[in-house]
Amino acid sequence: MTSASDDRLAAGLRGFGPLGLLSMLAVLSGNFIVAPLSALLVLLWARASRTSWHELGFVRPRSWTASLLVGILSGAAFKLLMKAVVMPLFGAPPLNAAYQYLVGNRAALPAALFAATVGAGFGEETVFRGYLFERLGKLFGSDAVARTAIVLLTAGLFGLAHYRDQGIPGVEQAVITGLVFGVIFAATGRLWTLIFAHAAFDLTAVAIIYWGLESRVAHLIFR
């Protein structure tokens, strides 16, 4: 049994008045404090606002094994495609300067693996696909024009979130990734395969940097 104050709080968090906007600002600012705080705030917001997990894309896969395998294989392949083909066409440098400290650095691996799986895979997909699609869908609607606008807007925000540590090449890569993942989420409404794919994407990036293969992969097609 819930009280009237709980009902008002839930309604306020689901709306776009002062409380709703303040909660959105808190969620989007969370990762500036510590990753993946934003995703944790999304889960707290969902509970307090009585938003179902289904609305955020946390739909149980028909097969966890198939979802995991598809996510891992597609995410790793997508990263290699981005590194070997797409980013060279954008004139990106072969080495990601922000993460060269990872080359052969075993001590830095635990933090990098956590960031790739929990921070990026679970955290970023929860926020940029699950949460923002739900919020913007309530604001813009669910027709084709609205869904297209949401994909573009969330991809842009995802790109901007990568500027601070990776500069323009990081923004370019994140925007393209956000567009691809956004289109998939808009079409399926399911988050778990994207979480696995995003984690695999970043784990592949960590692997090729750690083993000193980044430049070789970047020049695989365009010498």
pLDDT, one tens digit per residue, over 125-172 is 999 999 999 999 999 999 999 999 999 999 999 999 999 999 999 999
Question: First-to-last CA distance in the chain?
Answer: 66
The pLDDT value recorded for residue 223 is: 78
- Bigger pLDDT: 70 vs 222: 70
pLDDT tens, residue by residue, 183-192: 999 999 999 9
Give the separation between CA 84 and CA 139, rounded to whole angstroms. 38
Does residue 22 sit in the same domain as residue 116? Answer: no
Domain region containing 7: 1-51
pLDDT tens, residue by residue, 46-71: 999 999 999 999 999 999 999 999 99
Give the separation between CA 162 and CA 142, rounded to whole angstroms. 28
Mean pLDDT value across the chain = 96
Does residue 114 sit in the same domain as residue 197? Answer: yes
Residue 185 lies in a domain: yes
Q: Confidence class of residue 2 from pLDDT cuts 50, 70 and 90?
A: low
Does residue 95 sit in the same domain as residue 200? Answer: yes
Residue 57 lies in a domain: no
pLDDT tens, residue by residue, 9-45: 999 999 999 999 999 999 999 998 888 999 999 999 9
Residue 95 lies in a domain: yes
Write the burial class of residue 164 (CB in 10 Å: 0-12 exposed, 13-18 middle, 19+ buried): exposed
Please report the beta strands in the chain, taking only residues with DSSP state E, as ranges in sequence order: none
Give the separation between CA 159 and CA 170, rounded to whole angstroms. 7
Residue 223 lies in a domain: no
Q: Which two tokens stand for residue 175?
A: 């925007």
Does residue 47 sit in the same domain as residue 93? Answer: no
- pLDDT at 193 exceeding the cut of 70: yes
- Could you give the number of structural domains in the chain? 2
- pLDDT at 1 exceeding the cut of 70: no
Does residue 13 sit in the same domain as residue 100? Answer: no
The pLDDT value recorded for residue 3 is: 75
Mean pLDDT on 95-117: 96
Does residue 118 sit in the same domain as residue 179? Answer: yes
Q: Is the dihedral of CA 2, 3, 9, 15 positive or negative?
A: positive
Give the separation between CA 71 and CA 88, rounded to whole angstroms. 24
- Bigger pLDDT: 91 vs 6: 91
Q: Are 49 and 15 in contact, with CB atoms under 8 Å apart?
A: no
Residue 56 lies in a domain: no
